[in-house]
Amino acid sequence: MAPTTSTKQKDLFDLAAEEEPPGHASTEVEEPPGLRLLKNRQRFFGSVSDVNWNDWKWQFRNRVTSVEDLSKLTPLSIRDQVTMMLVTSKYPISITPYYFCLIKQDDPCDPIRKQALPAYDEIALSGILSEDPLEEERDSVIPGLVHRYPDRILMVVTDICPMFCRHCTRKREWRRGRWVRTPQEIERMLSYIREHTGIRDVIISGGDPLTLSTRHLETIISKIRAIDHVEIIRIGSRVPVVLPQRIDNELCDMLAKYSPIWMNTHFNHVHELTDEAKAACDMILKHGIPVNNQSVLLAGINDSIEAQMKLCHGLLKAKVRPYYLFQADEVEGTEHLRTTREKGLRIIEGMRGHTSGLAIPTYVVDLPGGGGKVPLQASYLLSRSNGQITFRNYRGEIYRYHNPKMVNGDSGRNGRHTNSKLQMPLPDLVAV
């Protein structure tokens, strides 16, 4: 059917272009992140041998964990130091030397800097949100085991992370000291999973579970794999982004023994896709472990069509699937990094049709109070009557589609469908 475009529909579509044209990607030449990494490494860690630099344990031991450490690397005014000390007394700092070297030193708005360095807004705007908006602690059936969906369970095995990401949903854990679940606690978790035969998917998370030694991790994974009804194991880790040196053959060989295992990682910006990070993902993939990316929509970091396009295209080139884009949770100490749902929708709408569907993550909000994830997307359905549905496409052109008259007992005549199990009318329009 030939497309038509009404002024009204064109206006509707133009909402998506309020801030930048859909599909827009700047052609401005930027310094490649690999070159910045190299220069910063020479500048700040010039005396460190390649052996140490590429050793994840050296990287971990030499994290920046205080304002004092930071001021030795980069000049900080007294005012900045005092402010950061105040912030870090509530929300500590932890940055691997590798990730620190990705920061564009002369740019206060650098997206890597904003994810890693403490900001006054973390405490200035505190108290207006919740420490645990997803109520993970309420939904913990035993400490560290969150059972929210019938067939999936989340195992939080440690609170240790190589880097403390300033937008972290679990930043409440940072003050509790560094802990790793004891063998007894892990055994209690495993007993629960064994007893609940409906659990087919176990997600191992933290903190970052890849901070555990390979041997320690294997004791946990092997026991999960021995449970007959567990079909898949997923590992949630930001290690490929902030400590790619941790991904080695020993780890990947171990994981490959317990297939099917999936890896969910967390790139937020294309500058994080260095050769080192891509090689880490490649090694995981070559061991038969699919890698998905779960990013968070963050103000001033990736909240534009251009930033998301570059990130998602970069991920696809690294063979990593853009899986979720999260609306930032309502976490205390992160208000300054949150964006509106409307902005998120405009970004997704600006991508849809302008790039492959493979490059577009599912935009979701994790509902406060433990309500679970809900997808958000702009509506392309404009109206329906007598079984005829009117859509707009990504260019704002109008197309019509005719429902079948009768399919499997669902009447398409008046365009209303019902879910036969729930006997509930399904909404015409998804969230806009």
Catalytic residues: 148-149, 152, 161, 165, 168, 170, 329, 366, 373
Residues 6 or more apart in contact with residue 154 via CB below 8 angstroms? 136, 145, 146, 147, 148, 203, 205
| Shortest distance (Å) from residue 173 CB to ligand SF4 | 8
Residues 6 or more apart in contact with residue 32 via CB below 8 angstroms? none
3-state secondary structure of 275: helix
| Shortest distance (Å) from residue 145 CB to ligand SF4 | 17
| Shortest distance (Å) from residue 28 CB to ligand SF4 | 29
If binding is defined by CB under 6 A, does position 33 make contact with ligand SF4?
Answer: no
| Shortest distance (Å) from residue 283 CB to ligand SF4 | 19
If binding is defined by CB under 6 A, does position 322 make contact with ligand SF4?
Answer: no
Q: Which of residues 189-208 bind ligand SF4 (CB under 6 A)?
A: 206-208
Pick the closer one to ligand SF4 by CB: 62 or 94. 94
Which one of 93, 101, 168, 289 is in contact with ligand SF4 (CB under 6 A)?
Answer: 168
3-state secondary structure of 156: strand
| Shortest distance (Å) from residue 10 CB to ligand SF4 | 40
Concatenating the DSSP letter of every residue in 116-150 gives: HS--THHHHTTTSSBSSTT-TTTTEEETTEE--ST
Burial letters 336-357, b for 16+ CB under 10 A, else e? bbbbeeeebbbbbbbbbebbee
Q: Which stretch binds ligand SF4 (CB under 6 A): 38-46, 84-92, 162-170, 225-233?
A: 162-170
How far apart are the C-alpha atoms of 291 and 280, rounded to whole Å? Answer: 11
Q: Are 346 and 14 in contact (CB under 8 A)?
A: no
CA distances from 1 to 7, 393, 403, 415 (A): 19, 13, 15, 20
If binding is defined by CB under 6 A, does position 278 make contact with ligand SF4?
Answer: no
| Shortest distance (Å) from residue 275 CB to ligand SF4 | 21
If binding is defined by CB under 6 A, does position 347 make contact with ligand SF4?
Answer: no
If binding is defined by CB under 6 A, does position 98 make contact with ligand SF4?
Answer: no
Edge to edge, what strands does the sheet with 388-392 contain? Answer: 381-385, 388-392, 398-402
**At 352, which amino acid appears?**
R
Pick the closer one to ligand SF4 by CB: 154 or 161. 161
Which one of 13, 91, 100, 164 is in contact with ligand SF4 (CB under 6 A)?
Answer: 164
Q: Which stretch binds ligand SF4 (CB under 6 A): 76-84, 164-172, 297-305, 306-314?
A: 164-172
If binding is defined by CB under 6 A, does position 396 make contact with ligand SF4?
Answer: no
How far apart are the C-alpha atoms of 181 and 206, rounded to whole Å? Answer: 10
Pick the closer one to ligand SF4 by CB: 22 or 207. 207
Q: Are 65 and 100 in contact (CB under 8 A)?
A: no
If binding is defined by CB under 6 A, does position 165 make contact with ligand SF4?
Answer: yes
CA atoms within 13 A on the CB side of 184: 0
Pick the closer one to ligand SF4 by CB: 165 or 202. 165
Q: Which of residues 207-226 bind ligand SF4 (CB under 6 A)?
A: 207-208
Pairing type for strands 381-385 and 388-392 reads: antiparallel
Q: Is 426 exposed, middle or buried (0-12, 13-18, 19+ CB in 10 A)?
A: exposed
Binding characters for ligand SF4, 228-257, by CB under 6 A (x = yes): ----------x-------------------
- Which residues are at the interface with ligand SF4 (CB under 6 A)? 161, 163-165, 168, 170, 206-208, 238
